[in-house]
Structure 1
Amino acid sequence: MDYSLQNHASYIGRPVSELPTPSLILSKPVLERNTQILLDDVKRLGITFRPHVKTLKCTEVTRMMLGDGEHRQIVASTISEIRGALDLVKEGKLDECLYGLPISASALPHLQDLTKSLKIILMIDSEQQIDLLDSFASKSSSTVAWPVFIKIDVGSKRAGMVNDSPSLPKLIQRIESSSSASVHGFYCHAGHSYACRTEDAATAVLQTEVEGVVSAARFLVGGKSERKIVVSVGSTPTAHVVRRLQGVLPEGMELELHAGNYPANDLQQVATSLVEPTQQAVRILADVCSIYPERNEALINAGTVALSKETSEFPGYAVVTDRPQWSVVRMAQEHGILGWADSNQTSRFVEKVGSKSSEGEKIESAFTVGDKVLLYIQHACITAAMHFAYYVVDGDDIVRETWIPWKGW
């Protein structure tokens, strides 16, 4: 069993330099600032907010994202996340969860059981999923119609239907005629917004999201139904510019924002230019285990299973926080190789946060065996999934709390 999972609380009150390695460090002041920015934005806009809990997967961060009950609905990608969030239901701070994958047969019995505790909304993008719901209803003798979001593809080419697909009105009609489902709203996620590099570009994608779900929702709004239809948009890059949202929704539609990575952020987010390097709340602590002057590299005890193999415009798989020209340039399962990897993005990073390094620095001048290094990572969601305990630090990097994430599917 992971040492941190058994002994994490013993490190409370100690500096990060005394932690076991590799460890995941969370800056609580940064988390709080990041979450409050978005809470303030949605409050000013007067829109509904549904945070996605997939990044850090823990009660404490989810409570923070909900504004301690100011917002009462989440998106979850796994059954485990929904079960983990039930503590917030008991606290009276959570009422509803969208299961964020197109529904599968294996998930339905578990979701049915969870409806005893909170409202569950399903994601639908195929008529065959309605067949599945009808079959499940007949076998379980259920008479309750599942509320569903219809997933709209606005350019990510992952889940969802494009809104000009001839299959979309057929799907809507099928749902409306089924006793097993009812349309709650239309949902999109602009995953391709991670390629944005300016606020204007992210704003344009946000506008595309809104137009995409509004166009789809018009198949229902304005007809016989008098109910409100929710149109849900968002991704972390577009959430960063939601304050620039313009226009008024057609009557009968209610706008909802969703986002997940924004409390943590990471190098992929910094690469969009929409957040600053100092808005990254997640770091990985590792030991320098060996130095190789002949090739100007060092070995650390954080590899693929501590960092992931995600990349961005920043070179390598992670960068040293105070020496960002040094990156994890290669990895094996349990170890990584630090090497000099300057780039245009790194130069911008150095300007923002400063650096102890100088051009052409030698590895033996930068690091010594036994040093501990802190690393900014490429994709917080995947890196966090590798760790069994989070060490939560204050502004002086002293551990003040330890949080245990929800694991499994």
Structure 2
Amino acid sequence: MTSPMPARIGDPLSRVQTPALIVDLDALDANIGAMAAHVRGTGQVLRPHAKTHKSVEVARRQLAAGAVGLCCQKVSEGEALLPSGVRDLLISNHVVGAGKAQRLCALAREVRTTTLCSDTRHARVLSDAARSAGVQLEILIEIDAGDARMGLPDGDTTGLLQIAQMVQDAPGLRLRGLQVYNGPFQHIRSHEERTSAAVLAANRAKAASQLLQDAGLSCEVISGGGTGSFTADVEAGVLTELQPGSYVFMDADYGRNLDASGAQVSAFRQSLFVQTTVIRTASAGVVYLDAGVKSLNLDSGMPLVKGRPDLGFTKASDEQGRIEASPAGPAPELGEVLMLVPSHCDPTVNQHDWIVAVRNEEVEAVWPVDGRGCLL
């Protein structure tokens, strides 16, 4: 069951029922424009990752700003975002299972559809599904970007060539190139170390691409990169398309990354918040909010309180959060509304049915989180 809308168009921000997911439209639009401008003219293209926002409306804004398509992490996310008008989807994951493969092929009847592979057995499964459905699936071979996750290990030239040759020869498949995404490296705090990680990933991709081309195999696309490394990704000049996602919203964890001067990275503005209300003043300096684990995600730590460095979010149960005030400022009062900066934007969005889009302290729109719960 979808929860009731927490606000109506024209409502002042103060009347939004809490806990609610809030997006500052001015900041959102500025972030979308800034990333588009950074990539424009570089010879690379932008394919933003929609697992961050899961929203048709945000996707429309990204496409209007020049994105060539979208990344989705699950087939169901791609299905949910088709109304955005996207014509080119990358399912940047390994789609395994007969039911998912059938739906992947159904998606390929609607839009250009690319997915990942790093195993010859998997390539056969995808080929059989595509041939049976009468469609073509485009394939990126995923190589390890230095984070030892889903890609082929660095130096496995035999494996890379075997998979690439199989994909190129397989009915229903088309070899398009390489995927090289370094997820954990996006959150390395030091600018120098984060840049080094991006360069490492780029060098691995460059070597793999050259290997494919020397063997007469296709490598027209090298896709990867992210919000933490986008500057280095562009400067390295190896990737043909960039996949940042979190830049549209940002979060407390990305806020801990540092730029070359040692200051907090400031290329993008915080646009995503969880608005919450004080529901109990328990004791001196301690209050409880109506936003807990079911409204937030804590895998990257506790959220911050916007504009109140004197307040610390110290604990969360399912439905409540605990705030402790330092002596530097007064504790919030019963009924007071606070804005939390999520620690991790992607899974926080997935906790909510609605995005309340606000401009100048007034509700301009209420958008459904179209891809919420799209796990398949």
Give the TM-score taking structure 1 as reference length.
Answer: 0.83
Q: What pairs with 1:195-210 in structure 2 (closer than 5 Å)? A: 195-210=187-202
Contact 1:41 1:242 in 2 (8 A): no
2: distance between equivalents of 1:277 and 1:185? 30
Q: What pairs with 1:10-409 in structure 2 (closer than 5 Å)? A: 11-68=8-65, 70-89=66-85, 94-105=86-97, 106-137=99-130, 140=132, 142=134, 144-165=135-156, 166-225=158-217, 227=218, 229-243=220-234, 245-246=235-236, 255-274=240-259, 275-276=265-266, 279-293=269-283, 296-312=285-301, 317-340=302-325, 360-361=327-328, 365-394=330-359, 396-406=360-370, 407-409=372-374
Task: Please report how far the alpha carbon of residue 196 of structure 1 lies from its aligned counterpart in structure 2 after TM superposition.
Answer: 2.0
Secondary structure of the residue aligned to 2:309 is: strand
2: distance between equivalents of 1:76 and 1:305? 23
> Aligned AA for 2:266?
E
> Aligned AA for 1:360?
P
Call closer, same or farther: CA 1:255–1:264 in 2, change over 3 Å. same
Call closer, same or farther: CA 1:285–1:277 in 2, change over 3 Å. farther
Call closer, same or farther: CA 1:176–1:34 in 2, change over 3 Å. same
Task: Please report how far the alpha carbon of residue 265 of structure 1 lies from its aligned counterpart in structure 2 after TM superposition.
Answer: 0.5
Call closer, same or farther: CA 1:137–1:319 in 2, change over 3 Å. closer
2: distance between equivalents of 1:35 and 1:222? 38
Task: Please report how far the alpha carbon of residue 333 of structure 1 lies from its aligned counterpart in structure 2 after TM superposition.
Answer: 0.6
Task: Please report how far the alpha carbon of residue 3 of structure 1 lies from its aligned counterpart in structure 2 after TM superposition.
Answer: 4.3
What do the CA deviations read for 1:57-116 (whole angstroms, capped 9, x no partner)?
112211222234x33311111233212322233xxxx32101121121231111111222
Call closer, same or farther: CA 1:22–1:171 in 2, change over 3 Å. same
What do the CA deviations read for 1:172-230 (whole angstroms, capped 9, x no partner)?
232233224231110111112233224333322222221121211222213335x5521
Contact 1:300 1:335 in 2 (8 A): yes
> Aligned AA for 1:112?
C
> Aligned AA for 2:226?
S
Contact 2:32 2:61 in 1 (8 A): yes
2: distance between equivalents of 1:48 and 1:180? 26
Call closer, same or farther: CA 1:135–1:278 in 2, change over 3 Å. closer
1: distance between equivalents of 2:266 and 2:13? 23
2: distance between equivalents of 1:150 and 1:63? 28
2: distance between equivalents of 1:259 and 1:120? 19
Task: Please report how far the alpha carbon of residue 276 of structure 1 lies from its aligned counterpart in structure 2 after TM superposition.
Answer: 3.4
Secondary structure of the residue aligned to 2:294 is: helix
Deviates more, 1:146-155 or 1:375-384: 146-155
Unaligned runs of 5+ in 2: 260-264
The CA RMSD over aligned residues, in Å, is 2.2
Contact 1:265 1:380 in 2 (8 A): yes
2: distance between equivalents of 1:321 and 1:278? 16
2: distance between equivalents of 1:240 and 1:13? 38
Call closer, same or farther: CA 1:246–1:168 in 2, change over 3 Å. closer
Call closer, same or farther: CA 1:82–1:195 in 2, change over 3 Å. closer
Contact 2:25 2:271 in 1 (8 A): yes
Call closer, same or farther: CA 1:240–1:305 in 2, change over 3 Å. farther
2: distance between equivalents of 1:299 and 1:73? 42
What do the CA deviations read for 1:15-65 (whole angstroms, capped 9, x no partner)?
211110100100011111111111111113121221111111112211222
Contact 2:305 2:341 in 1 (8 A): yes
The equivalent of 2:262 in structure 1 is: none
Task: Please report how far the alpha carbon of residue 136 of structure 1 lies from its aligned counterpart in structure 2 after TM superposition.
Answer: 2.7
Contact 2:10 2:363 in 1 (8 A): yes
Unaligned runs of 5+ in 1: 341-358
Call closer, same or farther: CA 1:57–1:137 in 2, change over 3 Å. closer
Work out the percentage of aligned pairs sharing the same amino acid: 21
> Aligned AA for 1:206?
A
Q: Number of residues paired by the alignment?
A: 366
